[in-house]
Structure 1
Amino acid sequence: MRRALPATRPAALLAALLALAACAQEPPLETRLQPYVGQTEAQLVGALGVPNATYATEGTRFLQFQEASSTVYPGDPFWPGPFYGRRFGGPIYAPPLVVTRTCAITFAVQEGRVTGFTFRGNGCR
């Protein structure tokens, strides 16, 4: 004989799962960078560390922060077809796959304060 769950348990479980899912998603990068606009250059460097590159022109300084990461997916043996592997002696091995993700964030600083930012790269999340 199976016991039915009380009506409150599934609702509580669903609410807990939804709350957990909401916590798992972080806001977009643009939303996370917006609080730096208006801060001083010293506050920006204090929060993010020393920039990888700087450039100054016409009263504006640009500070660029870069991040890169690589993920290696191991190779796998696979059988391309029912006859190919048997005829030529076995499986074919797919080589490892290396995926590199980069993100470059550039902040514009005028008169000592951050006025804006841009970002580019396939790893900007």
Structure 2
Amino acid sequence: MRSLPVLLLPLVLGACAVGPTLSQRLSAYIGRSEGELVSGMGVPVRSYETEGRRFLQFERRTTVAVSQPDPFYGYGYWRYRPWMNTPAYAELQCDITFALRNQRVESFTLNGEGC
């Protein structure tokens, strides 16, 4: 019976593991062609060319649930508050810009609160 905690340890540690970050996932595109980038990311929303470099911008939007403050906090716990169960949502945006030279991804930058 003592071996049970030892057997559960990998499961507990595995539950705490998180996947790769956005930067780690996007770094896989470094060195790839423009076609591979568009194939993986979709059609860019903007593009710009200057001094032999091409910049492709992609938008990423996520919706997250946020908690609403209770305006009657401190006026009694049992006060009627119909908005307590009303969820609130916020949209977070992340602009991802890839820099390409000779049709190969050179670098990328992230900008926004959703990155």
Q: What are the within-5 Å matches in structure 2 for residues 1-125 of structure 1?
A: 6-22=1-17, 25-71=18-64, 73=66, 79-82=72-75, 91=81, 93=83, 97-124=88-115
Whole-Å Cα distance in 2 between the matches of residues 82 and 72 of structure 1? 26
| Higher RCO (CA 8 Å, separation ≥ 6 residues) | 2
Could you say which structure has the larger radius of gyration?
A: 1
Code of the residue aligned with 1:102 in structure 2: it is Q
Structure 1 gap segments, 5+ residues each = 1-5
When residues 111 and 121 of structure 1 are mapped into structure 2, their CA distance, relative to the original with a 3 A threshold, is same
TM-score by length of 1: 0.74
How many percent identity over aligned positions? 36
CA contact (8 A) 1:77 1:92 kept: no
CA deviation vs aligned residue, 1:53-104 (integer Å, no higher than 9, x gap)? 1111111110011011334558687744447x98xxx658578643221111
Code of the residue aligned with 1:31 in structure 2: it is Q
